[in-house]
Structure formats: structure tokens, C-alpha cells
Structure 1
């Protein structure tokens, strides 16, 4: 699966205990490749979390094309050194996303910052993290979808005329 670059994050199935301590501001960034006719943005610019606290946030995307498009998001966090401590429980970025013409969707991300960030000498002073996504068109999947749609539209009907 495509995961990201630089400060690649971790995935998790269970949550740690919430640790008291200084909150960490997590900011959100969204980009897309030129030529992808989507708008894509975070629903909110930032949240404050305590280490171990699970948060659910959303990104918004809309397809402005007249055809379905399949996109795939890559992600990272900065500073890069915190990637090992930023864990996602669920994310739209784990799978490709298909948006129909004119469709607008809210895409969830469930994450936490591992409390171990506070005991690592390299990261214990970090109080701000940026989570960034970039959407790219999946040309092959989009072409396959277009071919399947065309074949379905031109297939003989089973209904009597």
C-alpha cells in the first residue's frame, strides 16, 4: 500500500492510555497534483491533543470533473522525526478513493500521538506536528473505471423492449 514519504506515520489497532502533559497542536495540510480536478482541504486547520488521546478529524474532497476519478493520497508528518510516534487507527489514505462527477465527500482520519514521544530525547520538546496529504490521480484505475462504465452503458439490456 502507498503510505507516504519522509515522516511516514504508523498504523495502530489499539489505543494507549492518555498521558497528562503539554498538549500537542496537530495542524492539517492538503494538496493535490496539478491536473486532478478535485478540491481537497482539511475540515479544520488544527486540533490540540494530549499524548495518547484519539482524535477524529475530516478532510473534504469534491470531484469537479464530468467523469468518475480514482485518487490515492500519500501522507507524511513534520517534523519527520515524529513519524514513529504519529499513529493512525483509520484513514481514507489506506485505500484509493473514487469520486463520481460532482460528488463531495468527508474523509475521516482517526489518529493519536504515542505518549512515548515525551520520553524520546529527540522528540520530547515537540509541541507542533503537521499532517500533510497529497492526492494523486490513479490513472490506471480511472481508465479501468471508465472502460467498465462504458461497457455497462453499451451492454444489451435484459429487459424486453
Structure 2
């Protein structure tokens, strides 16, 4: 092979190596970005029962009523007893405040955090939280019982969604986990 042929082959191989290195780097970047991108997607669309965050309800009330039920589950590694609020029924658009009650059943401080979802899943894009204990970690002192508020409303635009015409009950469910930051 001539020197010119070897140089062309070397340049071609170098380009392939650069392209493959760039491809591997892009795949690693996408792997690390997948979780935050998925969270942004879910928050924007309500996918998977992800609720929205709001500061108030600018759209007002509509005549249609909705019952909101509450559910709680506690991971076996979190020594808390959590009791959800009783279901409430009210006009869509009305800002409501409910409380979950949590008790630390140990003799030492325990920190936990809640993750949530809404069912039916399609209603997540219309379920707006103004305030929620789930936005931050919660530390309960030994034997402490606390009221953990959720302030929310159901967006009146839900009434315009054909897929939710027959929905009369939304369930807000929390699962409580121990936090990495104990006490």
C-alpha cells in the first residue's frame, strides 16, 4: 500500500474512532439524563398520575362535583404510622385542604419522604397541588405525631377532557419511604 493509501485509511479509521467515541459519550449522557427528562415530561403532561404544582386557581369553580379519596402506604423500613384524610366531595376548582396524620413509632428521630401518584392516571394533569408535605423531607421526633397538609384543587379544564367525562372520583396516593438523611 502506498503512503497516500495508508494516510487515507488512517484518516478513515480515526474518523470512525471519533464517531464511535462520540456515540458512546452521547449514550452515557442520555442514560444520566433519562430520569430528569422523564420527570419533566411527566410533570408537563400528567403522565403516570403525576400531579401539577400551582400557586392558586385562576379559573374558578364549575358546577361538576368530584370526590377525592386519599391513600397511604408506608415502606417496611420506615417506622411510621400514616393515616390518610377521609374522602372529600366538592365543586371542581375549589381549593381544598386536607391532612394526613403521621406518627414516628420509634424512640429516635426518623426522616422520611413521600412520593405520590393520582388515579386515574389521566387526571394527574388536572390535579394541582398548592402546598404539600411531599415537596420536602419530613423529620419526626421520637413518638411525635404531626398533621401533614395538602392544599389542592382539580383544574376545571378536566371537564373538557372527553376521556374523563365519566370520572367522579380521583384517588391521591402517597407512599412513604425512609430518607437518606436520618434524623
TM-score class, shorter? 0.7 to 0.9
- Of the two structures, which has the highest relative contact order with CA contacts closer than 8 Å and spacing of 6 or more? 1
Q: 1:29, 1:65 → 2: CA distance?
A: 23
More strand by share: 1
Q: How many residues align?
A: 140
Q: Which runs of 5+ in 1 are unaligned?
A: 146-161
| TM-score between the two structures when normalised by the length of structure 1 | 0.82
Kept in 2, the 8 Å contact 1:17–1:53? The answer is: no
Q: Which runs of 5+ in 2 are unaligned?
A: 1-35
Provide Cα deviations, 1:20-77, integer angstroms capped at 9, x if missing partner: 32210000101110121110011x3200121110000000000011111110000011
Kept in 2, the 8 Å contact 1:64–1:102? The answer is: yes
More helix by share: 2
| Structure 2 residue aligned with 1:21 | 63
| Structure 1 residue aligned with 2:153 | 112
Quote the offset at 1:124 in angstroms: 2.7
Runs of 4+ residues deviating >3 angstroms:
none
| TM-score between the two structures when normalised by the length of structure 2 | 0.72
Aligned with 1:122: secondary structure?
A: helix
Which of structures 1 and 2 has the bigger CA Rg? 2
Match of 1:51 among 92, 109, 122: 92
